[in-house]
Amino acid sequence: MNGAESLVATLIDQDVDICFANPGTSEMHFLAALGENPKMRSVLCLFEGVATGAADGWYRMKDKPASTLLHLGPGLANGLANIHNAKRASSGMVNIIGEHSASHLKYDPPLTSDIEGLARPLSHWVRRAESADSIAWDTAQAVAKASEHPGQIATLILPGDTSWQQTGAAPVLPPPVAAKRKTPSVERIEHVARVLRSGEPTLIILANKATRGAALEKAGRVAAATGAQLGSQFFTARIERGAGFVPISRIPYAVPQAMAFLKDFKHIVTVETREPVAFFAYPDKPSLLKAEGTMVHELVEADEDSELAFDMLLHALGATSVSAIVQPRIQTPVPTGALNPTSIAHALAAALPEHCILVDESLTTGRESIGLTIGAQPHDLINNMGGSIGYSTPVATGAALACPDRRVFCMVGDGSAMYTIQSLWTQARENLNVTTIIFANNTYAILKAEYANMGAGTPGERALSMIDIDRPSIDWQAMAKSMGVPSVAVDTAEGFYKAMVNSAREPGPCLIEVKL
| 168-227 binders of its own copies (CB under 8 A) | none
Name the nearest CA neighbour of 132 among 6, 28, 13.
Answer: 6
Alpha carbon 3 to its chain's center: 32
Nearer to its own copies, 103 or 323 (CB): 103
DSSP string, 96-135: EEEE--HHHHTT--TT---HHHHHGGG-SEEEE---GGGH
Binding of its own copies by 399 (CB under 8 A): no
Q: How far is CA 245 from the centre of its chain?
A: 20
Are 365 and 392 within 8 A, CB to CB?
A: no
| Contact pick of 12, 46, 319, 322 for its own copies (by CB under 8 A) | 46
Among 459, 488, 489, 504, binds its own copies (CB under 8 A): 459
Q: Is 310 in the site for its own copies (CB under 8 A)?
A: no
The answer to the question of residue 20 lying near its own copies (CB under 8 A) is no
Residue 182 DSSP one-character state:
B
- Element at 83 (helix H, strand E): helix 72-88
Query: Which of these ranges, 23-31, 131-139, 201-209, 336-344, lies near its own copies under the rule CB under 8 A?
Result: 23-31
Query: Least separation, in Å, of the C-beta of 41 and its own copies?
Result: 10
Which C-beta is closer to its own copies: that of 355 or that of 429? 429
CB of 223 closer than 8 Å to CB of 249: no
Kindly tell me the burial class for residue 512, based on how many C-beta atoms sit within 10 Å of its own C-beta (0-12, 13-18, 19 or more).
buried
**Residue 494: strand pairing partners:** none
Asked if residue 349 binds its own copies (CB under 8 A), the reply is no
Q: Which is nearer to its own copies, 203 or 417 (CB)?
A: 417
Q: Is 276 helix (H, G, I), strand (E, B) or coil?
A: coil
Residues in 475-504 at the binding interface with its own copies, rule: CB under 8 A:
475-476, 478-479, 481-484
Binding to its own copies by residue 287, rule CB under 8 A? yes
**Which span sits near its own copies by CB under 8 A: 128-136, 144-152, 176-184, 469-477?**
469-477
Nearer to its own copies, 174 or 472 (CB): 472
For the CB of residue 504, give the shortest distance to its own copies in the complex, in Å: 21
The residue within the footprint of its own copies, chosen from 10, 26, 67, 68 (CB under 8 A), is: 26
Min separation Cβ 59 and its own copies, Å = 18
Q: Whole-number minimum distance, CB 316 to its own copies, in Å?
A: 30
252 binds its own copies (CB under 8 A): no
User: Which stretch in 216-224, 327-335, 388-396, 495-503 sits in contact with its own copies by CB under 8 A?
Assistant: 388-396
Q: Which of residues 116-155 bind its own copies (CB under 8 A)?
A: 117-118, 120-122
Q: 412 by DSSP, 3-state: which?
A: strand
Phi then psi for residue 266, to 5 deg, are -80, -30
Least spacing, CB of residue 116 vs its own copies, in Å = 9
Which of 511, 516, 515 lies closest to 488, judged by CA? 511
**Which of 124, 128, 355, 429 touches its own copies (CB under 8 A)?**
429
Q: Of how many residues is the chain composed?
A: 516
Q: Determine contact, residues 347/335, Cβ cutoff 8 Å.
A: yes
Helices and strands per DSSP (H, E), number in the chain = 20, 18
> Does residue number 161 form part of the binding site for its own copies (CB under 8 A)?
yes
Residue 238 binds to its own copies (criterion: CB under 8 A):
no
Are the C-beta atoms of 417 and 438 separated by less than 8 Å? yes
User: Which one of residues 156, 428, 432, 510 is an interface residue with its own copies (CB under 8 A)?
Assistant: 428
Of residues 23 and 242, the one with the C-beta less far from its own copies: 23
Pseudo-torsion of CA 333, 334, 340, 345, nearest 10°? Answer: 70
Give the one residue of 58, 245, 253, 419 binding its own copies; rule: CB under 8 A: 419
Instruction: Give the count of beta carbons closer than 10 Å to the beta carbon of residue 161.
Output: 18
Residue 278 makes contact with its own copies by CB under 8 A: yes
User: Which contacts of 109-112 are long-range, i.e. CB under 8 A and separated by 24 or more positions?
Assistant: 111/26, 111/72, 111/73, 111/74, 112/72, 112/73
Instruction: Point out which span in 206-214, 262-270, 365-373, 387-395 binds its own copies (CB under 8 A).
Output: 387-395
Report the chain's C-alpha Rg in angstroms: 24
DSSP per-residue string spanning 313-363: HHHHTT-TTPPPP-PPP-PPPPP-SS--HHHHHHHHHHHPPTTEEEEEE-T
Sole binder of its own copies in the list 254, 447, 511, 512 (CB under 8 A): 447
- Segment contacting its own copies by CB under 8 A, of 98-106, 147-155, 339-347, 489-497: 98-106
Residues 70 to 89 in contact with its own copies, rule: CB under 8 A = 72-75, 77-78, 80-81, 84-85, 88
Q: Which of 322, 467, 489, 504 binds its own copies (CB under 8 A)?
A: 467
**Minimum distance from CB of 21 to its own copies (Å)?**
6
Of 141 and 473, the one with the shorter C-beta distance to its own copies is 473
Is residue 15 classed as helix, strand or coil in its secondary structure?
coil
CB 339 within 8 A of CB 243: no
With a CB cutoff of 8 Å and minimum separation 6, the contacts of 473 are 440, 442
CB 98 within 8 A of CB 70: yes
507 binds its own copies (CB under 8 A): no
| Closest distance to its own copies from the beta carbon of 355 (Å) | 28
d(CA 50, CA 54): 6
Candidate segments 22-30, 247-255, 291-299, 434-442, binder of its own copies by CB under 8 A: 22-30
Q: Does 101 bind its own copies (CB under 8 A)?
A: yes
